[in-house]
Amino acid sequence: MPELLHSAIFGLPAPRTGKVRDVYDLADSVLIVATDRISAFDAVMANGIPDKGCILTQMSSFWFGLLTDVCPNHVLSTDFETIQARCQKPQPELKGRSMLCKKAKTIPVECVARGYITGSLLKEYNRVGSDVHGLELPAGLIESSQLSEPIFTPATKAEEGHDENISFATMVDRLGRETAELLRSWTLELYSRASAHAASKGIILADTKFEFGETEDGIILIDEVLTPDSSRYWDGSQYEAGNSQPSFDKQFVRDYLETSGWDKNPPGPVLPADIVEKTRAKYIDAYRRIVGQEPDL
Ligand SMILES: Nc1ncnc2c1ncn2[C@@H]1O[C@H](COP(=O)(O)OP(=O)(O)OP(=O)(O)O)[C@@H](O)[C@H]1O
Ligand SMILES: [Mg+2]
């Protein structure tokens, strides 16, 4: 199949579109379609990475299955026949990249677990010090240091889509203690189980973000889980604290963009064919290593 940049389902209103996924409201459920769009530096590139949406949907599906006993999740079906049956006309382009999910009301706090310090938290730690967001981190942490134990760092979506870290106390104020504590314990358990699996494959799961939603039957895990779009995966064999670690999936794209003359204002430029091909190979490699089989493309 050629790359799929935009989806459309006959007879349905236009989906809600994120940077990468298209979400269709099916009244009782949602159909989440992962396109081949790729974003870097918060902008979507002009072309995509063929099959990326399939690879990431299947990776997310693998993780939902592996972690199903930690907490309930939104997956109803990834079976294409079932999904096709919900459409009025044949939609073969959705195969392998779509997930039929229970509809939930998104809880407006992103649940992040970190085993290493980098990114936004490292910046704040360097500015504020050890008691950043009440975390009481040790002194002397450097870029990509491993933490003595994984920490929970909730965040909210700020105006322009950038996430803003908040303290656990603020999360309790917003959601109530019971919900905040449940989400924290699920998040840390999901992270611990997933990072142990990744480690057994030579991959470090540095951090990851989960979203939860409310349904009539209680709180469930929603969205995508443990894809390179929601997680930082590092190659265990190249890890070295003190430096920023190469991104497992987007390194070629980022390196290219740094030298391309693009001013990092959206939209992103067209990626050349060799960058697209190398990046596609990286996604397939990540899938093989994590899942232990070939993606169904
Ligand atoms: N089961 C579900 N029920 C209802 N909404 C869901 C469910 N699972 C995921 N969502 C929502 O669907 C959306 C997925 O869209 P997506 O992640 O592509 O876009 P986004 O989060 O708005 O933007 P970004 O591109 O920055 O991630 C999110 O808003 C997510 O909260
Ligand atoms: Mg999102």
Q: Which ligand is nearest to the CA of 16?
A: 1
**Quick check: 137 and 125 in contact, CB under 8 A?**
yes
State the Cα–Cα distance between residues 21 and 7, nearest whole angstrom: 9
Written as six digits, the tokens of 50 are 């063929």
- Interior CA angle at 205 toward 199 and 208, to 5°? 150
Last residue of a domain, one of 103, 134, 167: 103
Give me the number of domains the chain comprises. Answer: 2
Say how many Å lie between the CA of residue 160 and the centre of ligand 1: 15
Query: Which amino acid residue places its CA nearest to atom 6 of ligand 1?
Result: 223
Residues 72 and 150 in one domain: no
pLDDT at residue 159, as a whole number: 66
Going by C-beta distance under 8 Å and a sequence separation of 6 or more, which residues neighbour residue 222?
73, 74, 101, 104, 106, 211, 212, 213
Residues 63 and 127 in one domain: no
State the Cα–Cα distance between residues 158 and 71, nearest whole angstrom: 27
Cβ–ligand 1 distance for 224 under 6 Å, the answer: no
114 domain-assigned: yes
Written as six digits, the tokens of 27 are 């009244």
User: Which of ligand 1's atoms lies nearest the C-alpha of 220?
Assistant: 1
Residues 113 and 200 in one domain: yes
Written as six digits, the tokens of 54 are 């399939």
Residue 123 belongs to what domain range?
A: 106-238
DSSP at 140: T
Residues 81 and 27 in one domain: yes
Say how many Å lie between the CA of residue 26 and the centre of ligand 1: 15
pLDDT at residue 161, as a whole number: 66
Cβ–ligand 1 distance for 37 under 6 Å, the answer: no
State the Cα–Cα distance between residues 26 and 30, nearest whole angstrom: 5
Residues 136 and 97 in one domain: no
Sign of CA dihedral 177, 183, 184, 185: positive
Say how many Å lie between the CA of residue 6 and the centre of ligand 1: 16
Give CA torsion, residues 257, 262, 263, 264, to 10 deg: -40
The CATH number that applies at residue 8 is 3.30.200.20
Cβ–ligand 1 distance for 42 under 6 Å, the answer: no
User: Which of ligand 1's atoms lies nearest the C-alpha of 39?
Assistant: 25
Residues 154 and 173 in one domain: yes
**Quick check: 34 and 53 in contact, CB under 8 A?**
yes
State the Cα–Cα distance between residues 170 and 41, nearest whole angstrom: 28
32 domain-assigned: yes
pLDDT at residue 80, as a whole number: 98
284 domain-assigned: no
Cβ–ligand 1 distance for 30 under 6 Å, the answer: yes
Going by C-beta distance under 8 Å and a sequence separation of 6 or more, which residues neighbour residue 202?
235, 236, 237, 289
Residues 110 and 91 in one domain: no
Cβ–ligand 1 distance for 100 under 6 Å, the answer: no
Residues 30 and 152 in one domain: no
Q: What is the pLDDT along the chain (297 residues), one digit of tens a residue?
A: 789 999 999 999 999 999 999 999 999 899 999 999 999 999 999 999 999 999 999 999 999 999 999 999 999 999 999 999 999 999 999 999 999 999 999 999 999 999 999 999 999 999 999 999 999 999 999 999 999 999 999 999 876 667 899 999 999 999 999 999 999 999 999 999 999 999 999 999 999 999 999 999 999 999 999 999 999 999 999 999 999 999 999 999 999 999 999 999 999 999 999 999 999 999 999 999 999 999 999
272 domain-assigned: no
263 domain-assigned: no
Residues 145 and 225 in one domain: yes
195 domain-assigned: yes
Query: Which amino acid residue places its CA nearest to atom 18 of ligand 1?
Result: 18
Residues 46 and 170 in one domain: no
Report CA-CA distances (Å) from 44 to 40, 225, 284: 7, 20, 21
Q: Pick from 195, 221, 32: which is nearest to 111 by CA?
A: 221
277 domain-assigned: no
Helical (H) or strand (E) element with 83: helix 80-84
192 domain-assigned: yes
pLDDT at residue 189, as a whole number: 99
The CATH number that applies at residue 156 is 3.30.470.20
> Ligand 1 pocket test: which of 222, 229, 231 has the largest number of ligand atoms within 8 Å of its C-beta?
222
Cβ–ligand 1 distance for 222 under 6 Å, the answer: yes
Last residue of a domain, one of 103, 124, 156: 103
User: Which of ligand 1's atoms lies nearest the C-alpha of 74?
Assistant: 1
Last residue of a domain, one of 49, 75, 103: 103
Written as six digits, the tokens of 224 are 């995508």
pLDDT at residue 51, as a whole number: 98
Say how many Å lie between the CA of residue 16 and the centre of ligand 1: 8
**Quick check: 83 and 94 in contact, CB under 8 A?**
yes
Residues 114 and 220 in one domain: yes
**Quick check: 37 and 19 in contact, CB under 8 A?**
yes
Residues 34 and 151 in one domain: no
Q: Pick from 145, 144, 146, 148: which is nearest to 136 by CA?
A: 148
In 3-state terms, what secondary structure has residue 212? strand
Query: Which amino acid residue places its CA nearest to atom 15 of ligand 1?
Result: 18
